[in-house]
Chains A and B, each alone.
Chain A
Amino acid sequence: MKLQFPKITVWRAIFAGIMLSGLYATYLRVMYGLGGSTNMSDKFPWALWIAFDVMCGVALAAGGFTLVALVHIFNIEQYKPVLRPAILTAFLGYSLVVVGLLYDLGRPDRLWHPLVMWNPHSVMFEVAWCVTLYTTVLFLEFLPMVFEKFGMHKPLEWIHKISVPLMILGVLLSTLHQSSLGSLFLIVPEKLYPLWYTPILPLLFWISAIVVGLAMTIFESWHSSRAFGRALELPLLASMGRVLAVLMSVYLWIRFLDMSHRHVFGLLWLNRTETWLFWLEIALMAIPAVLLFQAKVRMRPGALYACAVMVVFSVIANRLNVGITGLEAGSGTHYIPKWSEVAVTLSIVAAGFAIFHFVAQNFPVFEVAGHEPARAELEESEADPVAV
């Protein structure tokens, strides 16, 4: 490898700017505490770093468990080419969630406390355990890419042996903590706005995590195909788009059914910020759901990508609504993030993109090594993997 000064491009300049502001915000966080670096208060103790860095971070990383389940447990091998990028995203996502937590916790040096000081009645305790274990699982699921890169065959074999239980464990852990991020808010019935507070929050969080996991997979494939000049796996992504359309319809159906049972339809027409944010969230999911039901849309890379982006923003909006905006009225306060909160969050996202790019470039992420060429060939003829 030759050492050379990187070319200055617009994106690199933006990246450097974000990282520098994040660095200064980090200095403020360390020196002046949460008070000096955030706009949180006694009345509003959770804010951007929880709602975005943790809740959105975990949701956006859900492609890992979704794809593992589809490819290895449901044995839909056609999805294999996007499995590794999904695992990489998940591993990066969870690692960055931990970074976000280090900023948000008042005592980041005690991050390990829940592992030894138990309170099984706490949702946060469950989330802490699941995230710890699942990050470990993701690391093990990511390792084969490293072993392959350096031609380490022995450990590769070893990890293949434990791969099935490992993957089942990963799917279970994900199911538990993806839903539990919703359960966290079951304890605030009088604070969270009724458009979001429902006893089935955990179920909604789980389904929307699967939805956004698939959307992120499409999003990544599209970007990486442009960044690395690969061909886009269009038939595969299109079939994923159809699954997505069905899942989103189910999600929206459950959501409105639940609202009708809770008699909150009256809130839908009030002129309040919450109403607009709710409709934004719903529209960003309903529009791609309708579009993706049409084969014409699914087969056009640009349209498919646009749908995926809408879905991603819908789920981000949902997490921010549950974690921030839906709590403002009930907490009797108003919250706007301080610049340093935004800077840290942007730095984490930017770091995520950069590390993904680096790993994808240097490790076998996008080409699946042919361990089972016979079967791969066999599956190639399968036009529609979902119609099992």
Chain B
Amino acid sequence: MSKAILYDSTLCIGCKACESGCAERWGLPYNDKIAAEETISAHKLTAVETHGERYSRRLCMNCQQPACASVCPVGALQKTALGPVVYDADKCMGCRYCMQACPFQVPSYEWNSRLPKMRKCDMCSDRQIKGKPTACAEACPVGATVCGERDELLGEARKRIAEKPGGYYNQVYGVKEVGGTSVLYLSAVPFEQIGLRTNVPMEALPETTWRVLELVPDVVSTGTVLLGGIWWITNRRAEVAQKEGRRR
């Protein structure tokens, strides 16, 4: 069982309570100027976007099989059994491969710091461990963001679509995208109209690199034998040629 967030954009009123709740949980500053920013960044880990008269939230999708965790050379990012993808800043060496690999361009970097860290939402891992909801879900006054078990939330999302077919676009975003995410979206319109990426692959991204990486032992073993064999043959031939004193 793993935790997830269901964000129903049709219920969202754009009050940004989730943003301030998030900032408070992380101890980040929050004011009118920051509230006006519609992009996530190292000082704003979730952002409410305006798309015409609709709203949408951006936050880390905490993927089921996260690309960021698979590419991190030092294992600073981990997918926990509980659901959140957590980050250990003490391990991070700042290669920013997680940022490059993330299909949602979520991880942000403290570009202007001398000892920078990556920053992203971790679905309030510490709160979830204690059984508490995420800060954003707790702050939401209208229930647009709710927190719970992924399976249950998925059932809830499908129930909402079934109960009000005209009110929803007939899909849940995050079910299959990049192999499934821990943040699920409901929308009244096709997802690209509320700024979600619909060009992401439906397979889990770590597969793409693992297909090559799993060949490494084969390359090493075959390569050693092959190169050693070639060396032995060519060297032996030269030896023989030298002994026999003939010119090849």
Contacts and interface: CB of A to CB of B under 8 A. Distances in A.
B139 to A, nearest CB: 24
Contacts of A12: none
Contacts of B97: 122, 124, 184
Nearest to A117: B74
Interface in A172-212: 172, 175-176, 179-180, 183-184, 186-191, 199, 202
B109 A378 contact: no
Given A121-B209, A183-B212, 16 more contacts: A33-B111, A41-B111, A42-B105, A69-B227, A75-B235, A105-B93, A105-B94, A106-B93, A107-B92, A113-B91, A126-B213, A176-B219, A187-B206, A187-B209, A188-B100, A191-B100
B242 interface: yes
A160 B110 CA distance: 49
A120 interface: yes
A171 interface: yes
Contact of B93 (A74, A107, A164): A107
B211 interface: yes
A45 B109 contact: yes
Nearest to B92: A107
A123 interface: yes
Contact of B197 (A75, A77, A190): A190
Interface of B: 41-42, 67, 70-76, 91-97, 99-101, 103, 105, 107-117, 197, 199-201, 205-206, 208-213, 216, 219-220, 223-224, 227-228, 230-231, 234-235, 237-238, 241-242, 247-248
Interface in A50-71: 69
Nearest to B246: A378
A374 B242 contact: yes
Contact of A122 (B73, B110, B219): B73
A187 B211 CA distance: 11
A275 interface: no
B213 A123 contact: yes
Contacts of B201: 189-190
B96 A46 contact: yes
A150 B220 CA distance: 36
Interface size class of A (residues with CB under 8 A): 35 or more
B95 A35 contact: no
Contacts of A69: 227
Given A42-B41, A107-B93, A183-B209, A123 B71 contact: yes
A118 B91 CA distance: 11
A128 interface: yes
Given A33-B114, A202-B212, A119 B199 contact: no
Q: Which of A32, A104, A172, A180 has the most CB of B within 10 A?
A: A172
B100 A45 contact: yes
A125 B109 contact: no
A200 B133 CA distance: 44
A127 B111 CA distance: 24
Contacts of A186: 208-209, 211-212
A114 interface: yes
Nearest to A106: B94
Contact of A187 (B71, B115, B230): B71
A117 B75 contact: yes
A105 B97 CA distance: 10
A187 B100 CA distance: 9
Q: Which 5 A-B pairs have the closest CB atoms?
A: A106-B94, A35-B111, A75-B234, A45-B99, A35-B112
